[in-house]
């Protein structure tokens, strides 16, 4: 069970990060070229949101069954265990919250520029936070 969920969390991360990078690049390009915010742009943002929420869900499961997750929460002196049991989950949850806020905010805005700007800032910050706390040595 643990191995399946761990592999799913590891594999889905490629897809989730790829779609998130596409959404960030797309919103920056839309903002800089002052183009109209279309249904395609909305869908790209929505796919990124859905992919990252799925990753969050799998993350919660893996956190409680992994030997590197919740069970190691007290191990503050070991940098690798601190990363997987505290920093990675906490910072990534904050990143995902920012992405979710960006998505809800953009829906209430009316101009294309403000939509692209909001998605660029919130999705961009979320991506930076997530990338800052990936356990890269476990992944590759």
Residues that bind ligand HEM (CB under 6 A): 6, 9-10, 13, 16-17, 52, 55-56, 59-60, 62-63, 66, 68-69, 84, 88-89, 92-93, 96, 130, 134-135, 138-139
How near is the Cβ of 42 to ligand HEM at its closest, in Å? 21
CB 50: neighbour CB atoms within 10 A? 12
Structure tokens at 114: 């403000």
Compute the least distance from the CB of residue 61 to ligand HEM, in Å: 9
With contact defined as beta carbons under 8 Å apart, do 31 and 120 qualify? yes
Tokens of 23: 């959404």
In the complex, what is the shortest distance from the CB of residue 111 to ligand HEM, in angstroms, rounded to a whole number? 29
| Distance between CA atoms of residues 75 and 91, nearest Å | 17
- The closest residue (CB) to ligand HEM is 59
């Amino acid at each position: 069970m643990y191995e399946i969920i761990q592999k799913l969390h590891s594999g889905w991360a490629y897809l989730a990060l790829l779609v998130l990078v596409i959404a960030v690049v797309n919103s920056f390009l839309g903002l800089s070229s002052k183009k109209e915010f279309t249904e395609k742009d909305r869908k790209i943002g929505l796919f990124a949101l859905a992919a990252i929420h799925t990753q969050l869900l799998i993350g919660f499961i893996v956190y409680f069954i992994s030997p590197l997750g919740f069970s190691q929460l007290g191990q503050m002196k070991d940098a690798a265990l601190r990363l997987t049991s505290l920093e990675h989950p906490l910072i990534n949850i904050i990143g995902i919250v920012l992405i979710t806020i960006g998505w809800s905010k953009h829906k209430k805005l009316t101009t294309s520029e403000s939509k692209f700007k909001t998605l660029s800032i919130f999705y961009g910050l979320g991506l930076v936070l997530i990338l800052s706390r990936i356990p890269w040595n476990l992944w590759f």
